[in-house]
Structure formats: C-alpha cells, structure tokens
Amino acid sequence: MRFLSALMPREARFFALFNKHAELIVQGGNAMLELVREYADLERRAALIQRIGEVERAADKVTFETVSLLHSTFITPFDRNEIHRLISGMDDILDLIQDAAESMHLFDIQVLPPDSLRMAQLLASCCEKVRAAVALLNSMDNAPRALALAHEIDGLESEADAVMRQGISTLFREEQDVRQLIKHKNVYEYLENAIDKCQDVANIIEAVVVENA
C-alpha cells in the first residue's frame, strides 16, 4: 500500500499538465480573435501571428512532457489511451489555430471575409469551454458539469458550421475575384477545423467522464 501511495502524487501531475495546456489553448484562441479584430493593423497582425506560434510551441512542450510522464507512470488517473488521445487532441487545437494564422500570412490575405469575426468568436468560446471542462477532470464528482460543457461545445460547433456555410455561400454569390474567393474560403475552413478539433476534445472528455464516473 505504501508503494501505491508513493505513486499517487504522480497522478496529480497529469491534471496539472492538462490544465497548463488548456490555458495555452485559451491564449491561442484569444490571440486569434484579437488577430481577426485588429487585422488591418499590419504591425499588430505580425505580432499576433508570432504570438500564436509561440503559444503553439509552448503547448508542444507540455504535450511532450505529458506523453513522457505517461510512459514512466505505473498508475494513471484514467485509461492510458484516453490520456494520450486527450493531450494529442488538445495539441491539435493549437496546431490548427497556428495553421489558420499562418495561412493568412502565406496567402497574402489583406482583408478577411466578413464572417471570420464570428468564427473567431466561436473558436475563442470553444477554447474557454475546453479549459473549463479539462479543469473538472480531476474529480468525477464534476461529471455533470463536464458533460454539460461538452454539450455546449457541440452547440458552438454546430453554430460555426452554419456560419461557415453562410459565409461561403455569400462568397460564391458576391466575390468576383476567384483568387480572393479561394483565400477567403480557406480562412473559413481553417477556423472551422480548429473548432471541429475542440468538439473532438469535448467528445474525448465526455467518454472519459462516462467511463469513470
């Protein structure tokens, strides 16, 4: 029993790492929202794209630390595969946020499509809810609230789908420049991909809660 008790504090390290990564997700989501809002400011645009890259790299380190801990820990708070899926899914959110930011620079997009602001708002909201749900995983007493947050993320993802469809429909009706149409369509899709990944993480959290509550 003393041997098992000595290992228990290592379980808490997983939750600390999850929370650390989730905080970076929120920073990335908020930076993306600020980027879209202040896109006309070239200096600010460059700084925010750089900031998102820095956040993504910091999250990569947390992911690596989590996977390393997983490989060296005998007792884990829940299924090893679920831990790996969770931290990998969380890392994918920031990867996709970075992809969205970098695409704006690489495609030389000077003006963002009108519905990109709403998409960025929905993404930032999803990131906040991912952080809130992850923070509840340290106790299955929090299961009802964690499940509610997962369902809220699903709702935001559905709204984002509708916004993207409307935005792309408007592009095809009104945008005469084919190159501009393609660029703007890509902006919507990159933002939607990041939101979809938030939903994937919500589904993993829901599975963890259902299996362990």
Which tens digit of pLDDT belongs to each residue from 63-116? Answer: 999 999 998 887 888 888 999 999 999 999 999 999 999 999 899 899 999 999
With respect to residue 183, please indicate whether it lies within any of the assigned structural domains: yes
The pLDDT assigned to 162 comes to 97
Domain membership of residue 144 (yes or no) is: yes
Local structure of residue 177 (DSSP, 8 states): -
**Whats the size of the chain, residue-wise?**
213
Is there a domain that residue 92 lies in? yes
pLDDT at 7: 42
Q: Measured between alpha carbons, how far is 69 from 120 in angstroms, rounded to an integer?
A: 33
**Cα–Cα distance, 138 to 145 (Å, whole number):** 13
Q: At 209, which amino acid appears?
A: V
Whether 206 contacts 137, CB under 8 Å: no
pLDDT at residue number 11: 73
Tokens of residue 91, six digits: 């890392």
Is 3 a member of any domain? no
Residue numbers of the domain that contains 151: 9-212
pLDDT at position 4, please?
A: 35
CA dihedral 26, 153, 200, 25 (to 10 degrees): 0
Can you read off the two tokens belonging to residue 147? 């499940």
Specify the pLDDT at position 132.
Answer: 98
Q: What share of the chain is helix, strand, coil (3-state, %, to 5)?
A: 85, 0, 15
Radius of gyration (Cα) for the chain, nearest Å?
A: 19
Is 55 inside any structural domain?
Answer: yes
Q: Which pLDDT does position 139 carry in this prediction?
A: 87
Is 49 within a domain?
yes
What's the confidence (pLDDT) of residue 12?
83
Comparing CA positions, the residue from 60, 66, 85, 49 lying closest to residue 10 is 66
Ramachandran quadrant class, 175 (left: phi over 0; alpha: psi -120 to 50; beta: rest): beta
Mean pLDDT by 10 residues, the chain (213 residues): 39 92 98 96 96 98 95 85 96 96 91 95 98 93 94 97 95 90 93 97 94 81
Residue 4 lies in a domain: no
104: domain CATH number is 1.20.58.220
- Tokens 């460059």 correspond to 46
What pLDDT is stored for residue 190 in this prediction?
Answer: 95
Residue 2 is assigned to a structural domain of this protein: no
Collapsing DSSP to helix, strand or coil, 75 comes out as coil
CB 82 within 8 A of CB 207: yes
